[in-house]
């Protein structure tokens, strides 16, 4: 994964509360291979009309917010079913951070696992940030994960909490496999020691195989 340390980018206000994972990534697209471009399915039923044309009222279709890489939401962002395709779609679209008052628990963990940073701030702060973004379309937010701060368009700084272990994941650009591979030398040493102690487990024993029943 790409490390997340300090990220400053165009932010878009997402005024809706209770944004569920089926709105983020409709169920009919969840079996599509990710390599085909999950960004095309993100907010599909909100971004597009029934005839396939863009919905001009949807915030990410508006010219000054089209390239947003940070979303500022309301309450309960990512509620609903536990599909990891929801944060995949956001990431593949280019969004690296979602700021909201709170998140669906499973969406929150899935986001951290794939490199998307969910930032929880007080609901009044989220409202203030969205109001500033509406007044100043094209404004940026600055997310400093190392110091756990969000800097708004007006320069105000807000702090957020994150689990230290998950913070390390993002700072170093690691996923579960990457964390495991950091212990590769110890794993290899254990395997070699185990093989030496229980060498009989690894010997070919055709006489035992011949005694197994056939079906």
Q: Which residue has the higher pLDDT, 178 or 42?
A: 42
In CATH, what number does 6-173 get? 3.20.19.10
| Rounded average pLDDT over 190-196 | 82
159-171 residue pLDDT tens: 999 999 999 989 9
Neighbour count for residue 25 (Cβ, 10 Å): 25
In sequence order, which ranges of the chain are alpha helices (DSSP H)? 21-24, 44-47, 85-93, 105-114, 123-135, 164-172, 176-181, 184-197, 206-210
Tell me, what's the pLDDT at 184? Answer: 74
12-63 residue pLDDT tens: 999 999 999 999 999 999 988 888 788 999 999 999 999 999 999 999 999 9
Q: Is the pLDDT of residue 215 over 60?
A: no
| Rounded average pLDDT over 175-193 | 74
């Amino acid at each position: 994964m790409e490390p997340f340390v300090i990220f400053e980018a165009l932010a878009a206000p997402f005024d809706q509360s209770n944004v569920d994972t089926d709105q983020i990534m409709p169920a009919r697209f969840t079996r599509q291979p990710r390599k085909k471009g999950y960004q095309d399915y993100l907010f599909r039923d909100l971004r597009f009309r029934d005839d396939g044309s863009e919905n001009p009222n949807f915030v990410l279709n508006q010219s000054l917010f089209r390239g947003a890489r940070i979303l500022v939401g309301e309450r309960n962002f990512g509620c609903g079913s536990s599909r990891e395709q929801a944060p995949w779609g956001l990431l593949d679209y280019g969004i690296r951070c979602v700021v909201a008052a709170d998140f669906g628990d499973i969406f929150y963990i899935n986001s951290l696992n794939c490199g998307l940073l969910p930032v929880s701030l007080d609901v009044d702060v989220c409202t203030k940030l969205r109001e500033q973004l509406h007044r100043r379309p094209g404004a940026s937010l600055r997310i400093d994960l190392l110091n756990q701060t969000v800097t708004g368009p007006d320069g105000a700084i807000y702090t957020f909490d994150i689990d230290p272990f998950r913070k390390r994941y993002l700072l170093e650009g690691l996923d579960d496999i990457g964390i495991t591979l950091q212990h590769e030398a110890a794993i290899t040493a254990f395997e070699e020691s185990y093989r030496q102690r229980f060498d009989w487990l690894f010997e070919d024993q055709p006489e035992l195989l011949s005694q197994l029943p056939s079906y």
